[in-house]
Structure 1
Amino acid sequence: MNILIALIPAIGWGLNPLLLSKIGGKPVNQTLGTGLGALLVGIIVKVMFQPSVASGVFWLSAVSGACWVIGQIGQYTSYAKMGVSTTMPISTGLQLIGTSVIGVLMFGEWSGGVAKLIGFAAIILMIIGVAFTAVTDSSESRAGLMSGLTVLVPTTIGYWAYSALPKAVSASSLSIFFPQMLGIFVGAILYVLLSGHAHAFKESTSWLNIAAGAVFGVSALAYIFSAKANGVATAYMITQLSVVISTLGGMLVLGEVKSHREFRLTMMGLALIVIGSVMTAFL
């Protein structure tokens, strides 16, 4: 049963990009729908478990959720520019590299020389893996790749903040869940309004994408219970299956085409990213 719980976030986060792409809509519709779906799950969890949280922790957690929206906007925009099967391994690799470095520099993780040696070796593997997944043969694909990276790379800072901010406080994952989901909702609303796309509230694709937001929220909640039941290292390791699911799904379900060389390098890159992430999980 514990392993089944661990598979929920892996499958949910892996299928989420495919669901978003199938539902369609612009990044603003996807962001708004995700915010609404995440808030819905957050409210249900708040009512069911009624976890207590200090006000300072609440607002910091809400800010981390709003930061997540920044990363997600970049990811949604990149889907249209370079496809899910290219975006997801690059995005995942950048997230893992950044959060690992932040953990070492700000929170003193990987204490000891051996741990740091293994950790930075893992980062090198992930960097190589990201480079492999970014290889493209056609000039059209290269143009899309460069356009996507100009959005994806800087917005990944939002994901780093989302992961790092809760580590600065002493609180259970369940207690910060609702404020994070609330922050995601508020961040999504602000993005819609500040970008001048208020019409998104009236568009059906925004409301259909609530399903994707709910899948994200349920997956995030399942990860909390998986970490408690299986341990953080095992739970984290299993979630890395999500990038494999989303990348292969982009090709098999969404029909994104790669040449033989691109496919081979993408598979090699995925393997390196997963191996590197697993290495960091046990440090």
Structure 2
Amino acid sequence: MNILIALLPAIGWGIQPLILKKIGGRPTNEILGTGIGTLLVGLIVYFFFSDQSLSFGTFMIALASGAFWVIGQTGQFTAFNLLGVSRTMPISTGLQLIGTSLIGVFAFGEWAGTTSRIIGFGAIVLVVIGAALTAVTEGADSRGGTMKGLLVLLGTSVGYWVYSALPKLVDASGDAIFFPQMLGIFIAAAIYVILKQPTAFASDKSWKAVIVGVIFSISAFAYIFSAQANGVATAYVITQLNVVISTLGGMFILKEEKTPKEFRFTLIGLALIVVGSVITTFL
């Protein structure tokens, strides 16, 4: 049963981009629908499952954490259109792991000891190589789009880093800060859409994308229970299957074209990202 709980985030986060691309729409539609979906699940958790006694400071830090997630997610949604799901997901996952690991080491004193740091930085090198391999493209036109997508992901992944780092500043459980995080996602998503494309509120694609937000937030909530039941290391390792699901799904379900060389490099890169992720978990 515990393993089934652990598989929920992996499956949910893996199929999330596939459903999103099947729905279609612009990044504004996608982030608005996602924001609404996360708020709905956040409210249910708040009233039925979570500890509602949070200090104002803790609440606001969790709220800010969710808002920063929107920065990373809008970058990822934009990159889907430039790179496709099968290229975006492994690169985005690699950037998230690199950033959060380095913040953990230098800001929170993780990977204590010389040996742990050597192994940890070696794992990061594997992730970097893996992400680079998944980005390999053939053809000048493809390279132009790849560079734009990489720049978008590089500039916005800081949102994911802050989203992961801020909860470490507070002494509260994951289920306790879940609602303010989801509320932060909704508020930031709504502000982004109002500034960027207010007409997205009336688009049917935005409302169809609500299902993506529901899937994301249910997966995030399931991860909290998985970490409690299986341990953080095991729970995190299993969630890394999400990048495998989304990448292969992009190629075989969304029919994103790759040359034989690109396909081979993607599989090798994917394996390196997963191995690097697993290594960092046990340090």
Structure 2 distance, partners of 1:267, 1:27, is: 27
Match of 1:275 in 2: 275
Structure 2 distance, partners of 1:92, 1:213, is: 18
**What is the correspondence of 1:40-119 to structure 2 with a 5 Å cutoff?**
40-51=40-51, 52-119=53-120
Structure 2 distance, partners of 1:273, 1:50, is: 34
Structure 1 distance, partners of 2:165, 2:259, is: 37
Match of 1:249 in 2: 249
Aligned residues: percent identity? 62
Deviation at 1:147, TM superposition (A): 1.5
The one-letter amino acid of 1:248's match is: L
Return 5+ residue gaps in structure 1 as ranges: none
Deviation at 1:168, TM superposition (A): 1.1
The one-letter amino acid of 1:49's match is: F
Q: Provide the aligned C-alpha RMSD in A.
A: 0.6
Match of 2:128 in 1: 127
Structure 1 distance, partners of 2:246, 2:50, is: 33
Match of 1:226 in 2: 226
Alignment deviations for residues 156-176 of structure 1 (CA, whole Å, 9 cap, x no partner): 000000000001111101101
Deviation at 1:50, TM superposition (A): 3.7
Instruction: Confirm whether residue 173 of structure 1 aligns to residue 174 of structure 2.
Output: yes
Match of 1:149 in 2: 150
The one-letter amino acid of 2:70's match is: V
Deviation at 1:150, TM superposition (A): 1.9
Structure 1 distance, partners of 2:249, 2:38, is: 23
Structure 2 distance, partners of 1:149, 1:28, is: 20
Which has the higher mean CA deviation after the structures are superposed, 164-173 or 230-239?
164-173
Match of 1:258 in 2: 258
Deviation at 1:139, TM superposition (A): 1.8
Answer whether contact 2:50 2:175 (CA < 8 A) is retained: no
Structure 2 distance, partners of 1:50, 1:240, is: 26
Structure 2 distance, partners of 1:151, 1:277, is: 22
Kindly tell me the number of residue pairs found equivalent between the two proteins. 282
Deviation at 1:146, TM superposition (A): 1.0
Structure 1 distance, partners of 2:201, 2:126, is: 43
Return 5+ residue gaps in structure 2 as ranges: none
Match of 1:3 in 2: 3
Q: Give 3-state SS (helix, strand or coil) of 2:176's partner.
A: helix
Deviating 4+ runs (over 4 angstroms)? none
Structure 2 distance, partners of 1:11, 1:138, is: 33
Structure 2 distance, partners of 1:281, 1:190, is: 35
Q: Give 3-state SS (helix, strand or coil) of 1:173's partner.
A: coil
The one-letter amino acid of 1:159's match is: Y
Q: Give 3-state SS (helix, strand or coil) of 2:25's partner.
A: coil
Structure 2 distance, partners of 1:214, 1:205, is: 15
